[in-house]
Amino acid sequence: MKSTIPEPTLRRLSYYLRYLERFKEKGLNIISSKELSIALGLSDAQVRRDLFTLGGFGKRGVGYDVSKLFNFLNTFLGLDNLQSIILVGCGNLGKALLQYKGFKKRKFIITHAFDNDKRLIGKKIAGINIQDSKEMQREIRKHKIIYGIIATPASSAQGVVNSMIDYGIKAVLNFAPIKIHVSQGIVISSVDLTTELEWLSFHVHHGT
């Protein structure tokens, strides 16, 4: 199914999911669009529009069924099943990502980590054995993994991503501070920490 959901709405769905999960944990069964909008810092109309886009949840004057909406969003975002991720590049950032517990809550698990630094290969971080990058092809194919995180230096990132994709990776989360080019059909998202700081700097210097 090809998506027709606008990108900003899509990004917000992750936030809805997160808050719905908290409401569930608190034992709330029904939530109004007003309560959702306050929690998320959006307008009431925006929340109603977003959820209408998804197929019209909730009844006028009654609100939304928390569990139903949570389950729907979970399936909609493809988060029903456990998803394996490989991580390439086990420097400071890579090591931190291996230890990061936030992914697991959304059923993403880094199952394999690779590096080409002899001093890192064989080490265990958060229970995951760092393997030689040469093993990448075999592991991706054997376990049919489609998610990859790249945390290598900028200079080697594009080459590693090309290999990942050759071996079967379909979605890449890039932490290397460089623009990565991928062919059509491959999804990529980049997180560039320094760019974020530069963006803040600009706004501090030019007014927001």
Q: Please name the amino acid found at residue 86.
A: I
Residue 93, H or E segment: helix 92-99
Segment 60-79, which members bind a second copy (CB under 8 A)?
76-79
Query: Should residue 87 be labelled a site residue for a second copy when binding is judged by CB under 8 A?
Result: no
Query: Should residue 18 be labelled a site residue for a second copy when binding is judged by CB under 8 A?
Result: yes
Query: Should residue 205 be labelled a site residue for a second copy when binding is judged by CB under 8 A?
Result: yes
Burial class (CB in 10 A: 0-12, 13-18, 19+), 44: middle
80-101 exposure pattern, b = at least 16 Cβ within 10 A, e = fewer: eeebbbbbbbbeebbbebbeee
Query: What's the rounded Cα separation, in Å, for the pair 44 and 39?
Result: 11
Q: Contacting a second copy (CB under 8 A), which of 30, 40, 132, 136?
A: 40
Q: Contacting a second copy (CB under 8 A), which of 8, 27, 41, 56?
A: 41
Query: Should residue 83 be labelled a site residue for a second copy when binding is judged by CB under 8 A?
Result: yes
Q: Report the helix count and the strand count for the chain, using DSSP H and E.
A: 8, 9
Query: Should residue 185 be labelled a site residue for a second copy when binding is judged by CB under 8 A?
Result: yes
Query: Should residue 45 be labelled a site residue for a second copy when binding is judged by CB under 8 A?
Result: no
Query: Should residue 146 be labelled a site residue for a second copy when binding is judged by CB under 8 A?
Result: yes
Instruction: Please choose, from the candidates 15, 56, 59, the residue with its C-alpha nearest in 3D space to the C-alpha of residue 38.
Output: 15
Which stretches of the chain bind a second copy, using CB under 8 A?
A: 1-3, 10-11, 13-15, 17-18, 39-41, 76-79, 83, 85, 92-93, 95-97, 99-103, 105-106, 108, 146-147, 170-173, 177-179, 181, 184-187, 189, 191-208
